Structure 1
Amino acid sequence: MTKLMVLGFLIRNAMSGYEIQQIANHSGMENWANVLPGSIYHALKKLEQEGLIQIKAHEQVGNRSKAIYQITDKGKETYHQLLLQTASEVNVLFSSTFYTALLFLNDLPDEDARVAISTQQKRLEKSLEEFYHIRKQKERHLPPRGEATFAHMEAQLLSYQKLLQQVRDSLEQNS
């Protein structure tokens, strides 16, 4: 995903790694695209080695020099292929670690299980708050496909919230 994201930004404008990282941070990409801000610089180096991007210029910022990257023709071709491949494949993620924990949840004392589920619910609430904050910031600038994406993400989060509540209710019934 990092490769696709970096190429996607650079196909629009030449920019520095810092600028890409700021966009990623501002949009909350680590939450929905599984792109960690720290991976951007690693991706830039690798993409440059592969000839997919190149340094357009160096800008002096105080005592530091920052590289401004631009996409190459080879990078545009690769971006198109990668985007087509990614948009064509089915990639539904299941929380295998959480589902496995649910399978064996009865092995925990009820109070420990309630605490674990409550902790999950609190984390999910925080994720929902962050999601709604980001969505509100972006809603005026979203194309129709962007709105559909946000609606789907919301449905997934709410579905997960419902699952956690069902598990918690079953734990309460057992006590």
Structure 2
Amino acid sequence: MSATRMLVLGVMHWAGRAHGYQVRTELVSWSADTWARIKPGSIYHAIRKAAADGLLEQDSTEPGDGGPDRVAYRITPEGRAELHRLVREGLSTPGDPWMLNAAIAMLPVLDRDEVRALLATRIKALDETLTRLREWRADPGQTPEHVLEQANLWVGQARADQEWAASLLDRLNAGGLQLPQPPASLHPTRD
């Protein structure tokens, strides 16, 4: 739910106001159903939940195309704070690839210096993870050999994650990777 919530809040933030079908269309155009494991129904659920939590507020109602009226929402200040929190968490904390993918899509909501600091935090957390996994492999106790293959897999995944984060951090430190403006299909809001 958090990756879906992050992406819904991000689209609402950039769009200024949108209804569920617009959010869904935007996220499907990004293939978020694949890399963030988002289902259309979860988008509508995330919108309703965010509204109930005070992260979105109803802006207007529009006639639907032959169906029910469409409710357009606008992100609240609390919603922007939650969006930033989720992006920070997804970028800095290893272990949830769906959150990381969503955070990468939402990088433009953070400034360059903060992205660099969060990547450094991620790299350090991955160092700690690799240390624990190597210790487990070195002294597996009663763990069956075939189960230790999980540790081998996780070491490889953590290394790949760490290499990616270090490479992105290097690019940012060298002045590369200009964080883009919001997608052209959306109109950014002014904070």
TM-score after normalising by structure 2: 0.47
**2:18 aligned partner, one-letter code:** M
Where does 1:1-175 land on structure 2 (aligned, <5 Å)? 1-13=3-15, 14-63=17-66, 64-91=68-95, 144=177
What one-letter code is carried by the residue in structure 1 that aligns with 2:10? G
Inter-partner Cα distance in structure 2 for 1:32 and 1:23: 14
Q: Percent identity?
A: 26
Q: 1:7: Cα distance to partner?
A: 0.5
Give 3-state SS (helix, strand or coil) of 2:72's partner: strand
The residue number in structure 2 matching 1:111 is none
Distance 1:65 1:92, change over 3 A: closer
What is the RMSD of the two structures over their aligned residues, measured on CA atoms? Answer: 2.5
Report the CA distance shift for 1:22/1:90 in structure 2 as closer, same or farther (over 3 A): same
CA gap 1:48/1:92 in 2 versus in 1, 3 angstroms: closer
Larger CA Rg, structure 1 vs 2: 1
Quote the Cα distance in structure 1 between the aligned partners of 2:31 and 2:75: 24
Contact 2:90 2:96 (C-alpha < 8 Å) held by counterparts: no
Query: After superposition, what is the alpha-carbon deviation per residue over 1:53-110, rounded to whole angstroms, capped at 9, x for unaligned?
Result: 01111111355310111100111111111111111111365xxxxxxxxx7xxxxxxx
- Give, in whole Å, the separation in 2 of the partners of 1:46 and 1:146: 29
- Partner AA of 1:7 in structure 2: L
Structure with bigger RCO (C-alpha 8 Å, 6+ apart): 2
CA distance in 1, matches of 2:96, 2:59: 38
Runs of 5+ in structure 2 lacking a partner? 98-145, 147-175, 181-191
Alignment length (residue pairs) = 100
Secondary structure of the structure 1 residue equivalent to 2:40: coil
TM-score, with length taken from structure 1:
0.51
Which amino acid in structure 1 is aligned with residue 35 of structure 2? W
Structure 2 counterpart SS, 1:61: coil
Q: Secondary structure at the match of 1:91?
A: coil
> Structure 1 segments of 4 or more deviating over 2 A?
61-64, 143-147
Return closer, same or farther for 1:80/1:92 CA change in 2, 3 Å cut-off.
Answer: closer
Amino acid in structure 1 at the alignment position of 2:77:
D
